[in-house]
Structure 1
Amino acid sequence: QHHAHDFALKGDTKHETPFFVDLRAAFTHESGERIENLPGFYDGDGTWKVRFAPNLEGKWSGVTASNDPKLDGVKLPAVECVANDNRAVCGVMGIDPEYSHRFAWSDGTPYIYLGFECDWLFAYHQRAGDEKFRKAMDLLDERGFNCIIMNVYAHLGFSRDQDPAEHFFDPPDMYVFEGTNDQPDHSRLNLEFFKDFDQVMSYLHAKGIVVHLMIQVQNKEVKWPRRMTAEDDMYWRYVVARYQAYGNIVWDTSKESYNLLNDLAEHAYVLDRINLIRTNDAYAHLVTVHDSENESWGSVSEADEASDFISDQIHFGEPDGYNREAIRRWRDRTATGNLA
């Protein structure tokens, strides 16, 4: 219960760009409850996967739908979901249904967000390896942090010249697309990158640490696909498909999202990305936008209104400032009802 299980499907249809194949699955519990429209993803070597996390104990059956005839209408092996035995795993993190200014897990366990920003964690895992990564995450857990704020990918700008060599993680060892950041192939994703990222996600999920995942970043010199193109949509859908089965996910459209507003003079792209996430997320994880407008603290933008909670970056010179800001926001809470 609440743990990810992968169903692998082999397809022998030749696709020039297999990442554009649409694969979805619907799962039915023996009680009749359904999890529908769960997207699958390409995982290399003619293999597509559907990553499923049952929310109820008991027998589940599933069937696929796809624009590839070989992947369409496939009955997936039935699974018997047993009780969750990991007390750190409590389902999907969301808004408390009884009190909209609080977070809670889907099993009813309250959640108080205490985050640690580690934007480059994906790159640290690539370079330091799984053992050092786990020790670092265990230390954060021991110190009381229950959320990691991180990027899917960033290219430059998260190491300093005075840092020791072992603390340099940019550019990362693996690029998120095929090719390089200078000469990217945006029609294909780097599957080794995502298989490495799977290890990060799996361990943080097992520890009950929420991953506040920024799908893009706008100020770290990444050559993203041109906005609103098929390649752009493919990347976003792939991230959502591959990681939504982990109940500890919070989607964030972009770190430093105000750069999009400065570039485009409107929130249309961010609003479209929010809609894309929600359309493709069968588990309805929370969605937010990091810094939707520059220095917008205490105000609510159009992108904030569309979010499940507001995510602003604020700097104060002394710790008391954060407490005062929290009190002010509580006092002046807006019609959205959800501030973080």
Structure 2
Amino acid sequence: MKKNIILLLIGVFAISNAQVKKWDNPKSNVLITIPQWEVNDIVFHTKNRIQNPFDKNVFALVNANRDSQKVPLFFNGNNTWVLRYSSASEGIKNFTITGDLKELSGKKGTISILKNTKKDRHGGITTSKENPQHFFYQDGKHYSNLAFECDWLFALDYGQKELSKTNQLLETIRQNGFSQIVMNLYTYDVSWPKDPLLAQHPEHEYGGSEKMFPFLGSNSKPDFSSLNVAFFDHFDKVIASMHDKELVSHLMIYVWNKKVAWPEMNSPEDNRYYDYVIKHYQAFPNMIWDVSKEALHYGRATNEYISERIARTKKLDGYQRLISVHDYGFCRNHPDEVDFISTQNWRHTLYQHMIDARTDFPNKPIFNIEHGGYEEAPYKVFPGAYTNAESCLRRNYMCFFAGAYSTYYWQGTSWNAIIHNPFEQAEGVYKPRFDYFSHMRKLYDTFNIENFKPSPNNNGSGYNLSNEKEGIIMLFMPKENFTIMFDGLINKDFSSANATQQWFNTYTGEFSEERKYEKIKDNFWPWQPWRGEADTILIIRNLKSKKK
């Protein structure tokens, strides 16, 4: 019996490659054991060369009790086909391969899913019917989406064996409280003028490179007849590293204004590319789909095309990851096609526009992907509307206090210029204020943010976010705001007799001591630390409802 077990294990071995484990050509009587929400590649080989392999439709029908799932395999070059698999549920899963390849059709396997033991891993991102304007993990924990834009992340370390720069930047992003990266799968170069100073630092320039392209050839001389497996192999490592660090990929599959040579829309080449992306990355629990950055700008795509891409995704994605489109007009006119509302709003009246969006779509999370705040960097990459670090921070809080989610941009990482180690630059070189967002994360982690709702009628001259269930109010006060002029921030249905007050400094992350709540007298707070020094948040706790 021991001999038989040894023979069974000869045909299969698990190896770690950038956190994606691989099971090579497993026999049907081998039990593949993987933890919940871990991504594994089950690799199959064909003896004969297949014509047009990227166009073949091969699926694994995965069954467990009465549940079934249809997961596509993808071609990975050299006569290999990959079943990339992860599971949100524990237990025994049996799969059978079916589809266009006779050589693989009928192959079977068994997968045992063990309970997740990674403390900070909670599964894929989803929504809730009970609390529809917030994101949640599959295990029910609230997902506090604080995003970081990095369009050219795929380009760091391209062609290198190790992801040293990528991992350093990702770890810096993670340590400063961000939970998501808004990113392009591929982009070529910016269309606006570049800062001459950037030319003196080629180590930070990633735009215009001809060595990276998802198709054959290059962006300047594209060959759309097939796909570049090496490009996707590298991107696999990037997404796997993000998954290991529990960073979500908000993946924009297209971008129209970055000089990319795309195949004609709806052509076989276009469909091949799009389908391959969905097949390749759907098993990653840290994946959120976005059809295109600024989808209906620049005169390329149409509403019908975007709708077809969404329907195409949902048909092919066996995991039903969340999907949206970086275009508020499309989301507004097609709310039933997207899982959350994406918006881009630079207006000075940002808070009110986010309130309006939340009111108009009470059953969808609101995500402002771009609010015009692009913090300054050593190079002027794309200034946008706001570059001061504190102004950019405030615009994120304006979204936060409107009950929406937001994205941070730094000009040193968001586009073609990437400074992967900003805090190791020479003295005198501008360093970004990522720490401001680690403080925002502290606020997220201290309170059950999913239970708070904006209360514009009780704003005063600040922004009111109230949790009636737990009796807590948070009031954001810009540093220029001396007082709120009236004591109307507490809803008349609540008693403040036993309430306490505390202040939070958004610049330093400090909480003041907690004291008994004192009402405003003569338009002044009896006690307000950091007045005029920083944007602060007043936190009032222990409010009691007067309702019986």
Would the TM-score normalized by the shorter structure come out above 0.5?
yes
Partners of 1:108 and 1:226 in 2: how far apart? 41
Residue deviations 1:152-211 (CA, integer Å, cap 9, x gap): 000111875432211101124321111111222222111111111011111111221111
Paired position in structure 2 for 1:10: 45
Look up the SS of the partner of 1:27 in the other structure: strand
Give the one of 323, 330, 333 matched to 1:301.
333
Written as runs of structure 1 = structure 2, the 5 A alignment for 1:52-63 is 52-63=85-96
The letter for the 2-side match of 1:2 is: W
Asked whether 1:337 is paired with 2:364, we answer yes
Tell me if structure 2 keeps the 8 A contact 1:291–1:312. yes
Q: In the superposition, relative to structure 1, how do residues 127 and 315 fare at CA in structure 2: closer, same or farther (>3 Å)?
A: farther
Q: 1:79 aligns to what?
A: 111
**Are the aligned partners of 1:149 and 1:213 in contact in 2 as well (CA < 8 Å)?**
yes
Structure 1 unaligned residues grouped into runs of 5+: none
| Larger proportion of helix | 1
Q: How do 1:132-281 and structure 2 match up within 5 A?
A: 132-157=165-190, 160-163=195-198, 164-172=201-209, 173-259=211-297, 262-263=299-300, 266-281=302-317
Would the aligned equivalents of 1:211 and 1:249 in 2 still touch at CA under 8 Å?
yes
TM-score by length of 2: 0.57
Q: Distance in 2 between matches of 1:258 and 1:13?
A: 43
Residue 21 of structure 1 pairs with residue 56 of structure 2: yes
SS in 1 for 2:158: helix
Q: CA deviation at 1:13?
A: 3.3
Q: 2:159 touches 2:234 (CA, 8 Å); kept in 1?
A: no
Residue equivalent to 1:285? 321
Q: How far apart, CA to CA, are the structure 2 residues paired with 1:161 and 1:122? A: 24
Question: Corresponding residue for 1:65?
Answer: 98
The superposition leaves residues 211-259 of structure 1 with CA deviations (integer Å, 9 ceiling, x where unpaired) of 1000111111111111112211111111011111111111000012123
The SS at the match of 2:254 is: strand
Where does residue 503 of structure 2 map in the other structure? Answer: none
Residue 354 of structure 2 is aligned to residue 326 of structure 1: yes
Q: Match for 1:251: what amino acid?
A: W
Q: Which runs of 5+ in 2 are unaligned?
A: 1-35, 368-548
Give the whole-Å Cα distance in 2 for the aligned partners of 1:124 and 1:314: 29
Provide the C-alpha distance between the structure 1 equivalents of 2:75 and 2:195, rounded to a whole number of angstroms. Answer: 36
Q: Separation in 1 of the partners of 2:106 and 2:223? A: 31
Instruction: Measure the CA separation in 2 of the matches of 1:99 and 1:335.
Output: 10
- In structure 2, the partner of 1:33 is 67
Q: Distance in 2 between matches of 1:111 and 1:325?
A: 23
1:305 CA displacement: 4.3
Query: 2: distance between equivalents of 1:21 and 1:200?
Result: 26
Which secondary structure state, in structure 2, belongs to the residue aligned with residue 141 of structure 1? helix
1:292–1:188 distance in 2 versus 1, CA, 3 Å:
farther
CA contact (8 A) 1:152 1:215 kept: yes
Q: Return closer, same or farther for 1:55/1:275 CA change in 2, 3 Å cut-off.
A: same
Distance 2:122 2:129 in 1: 15
Is this contact kept in 2: 1:86–1:206, CA < 8 A? no
Deviation at 1:60, TM superposition (A): 1.7
Give 1:56 shift: 1.9
Identity %: 30
SS in 2 for 1:81: strand
The offset of 1:326, in angstroms, is 3.0
Cα deviation, residue 273, structure 1: 0.2
CA contact (8 A) 1:257 1:292 kept: no
- Partner Cα distance (1:237, 1:167) in 2: 32
Distance apart, 1:290 and its partner CA? 0.6
Question: 1:316 Cα deviation (Å)?
Answer: 4.8
Query: Using the alignment, how far apart are the partners of 2:207 and 2:40 within structure 1?
Result: 33
Distance 1:160 1:19, change over 3 A: farther
2:164 partner SS: helix
- Number of equivalences: 326
CA RMSD after TM alignment: 2.1
1:62-114 deviation line (CA, Å, top 9, x unaligned): 111121111212113x2221121222321110112321101001110111211
3-state SS of 1:194 partner: helix
8 A contact 1:88–1:206 mirrored in 2:
no
Higher relative contact order (CA 8 A, sep 6+): 1
Query: Partners of 2:350 and 2:151 in 1: how far apart?
Result: 21
User: Which amino acid in 2 is paired with 1:15?
Assistant: I
- Counterpart amino acid of residue 98 in structure 1: E
Question: TM (normalized to structure 1)?
Answer: 0.89
Is the CA contact 2:214–2:228 (under 8 Å) kept in the aligned structure 1? yes
What amino acid is aligned across from residue 170 of structure 1 in structure 2?
G
Q: Distance in 2 between matches of 1:150 and 1:33?
A: 33
Q: Which residue of 1 aligns with 2:24?
A: none
Q: Please say if residues 125 and 200 of structure 1, whose CA atoms lie closer than 8 Å, have aligned partners that are also in contact.
A: no
**Cα 1:89–1:125 shift into 2, 3 Å:** farther
**Could you list the per-position Cα deviations for residues 290-312 of structure 1 after superposition, in whole angstroms to 9, with x for gaps in the alignment?**
1254xx8xx8133x542111212
In 2, distance between residues paired with 1:254 and 1:14?
Answer: 34
